[in-house]
Amino acid sequence: MKQILVYGRIFNVSNYGGYPNDNLDDTNATQAAAYLASSSGPNNIVVFQSGRYDFQSTVSLYNAINLTVMGQGQDVTFLIGHSPTMMFNAGNSVGLTLMMFSIDYQPLSFTAGYVVSVAASYLDLQVVAPHQADVGRQVAAI
45: β partners: 10, 68
Q: What percent of the chain has pLDDT over 70?
A: 91
pLDDT value of position 142: 52
Tell whether the model's pLDDT for residue 133 goes beyond 80. Answer: no
This prediction's pTM? 0.79
- CA 134, CA 122: separation in Å to the nearest integer? 15
Q: What is the mean pLDDT of the chain?
A: 90
Q: What percent of the chain has pLDDT over 90?
A: 68
pLDDT value of position 74: 96
Q: What is the pLDDT averaged over residues 62-67?
A: 97
Strands of the sheet containing 77-81, edge to edge, are: 51-55, 77-81, 102-105
**45 C-beta neighbours (distance < 10 Å), count:** 19
Tell whether the model's pLDDT for residue 84 goes beyond 90. Answer: no
Reported confidence tier of residue 16, pLDDT bands at 50, 70, 90: very high
User: What would the 3-class secondary structure string for the chain be?
Assistant: CCCCCCCCCEEEHHHHCCCCCCCCECHHHHHHHHHHHHHCCCCCEEECCCEEEEECCCEEEECCECCEEECCCCCCEEEEECCCCCCEEEECCECCEEECCEEEECCCCCCCEEEEEECCCCEEEEECCCCCCCCCCCCCCC
More confident residue, 123 or 32: 32
Q: What is the pLDDT averaged over residues 114-129?
A: 86
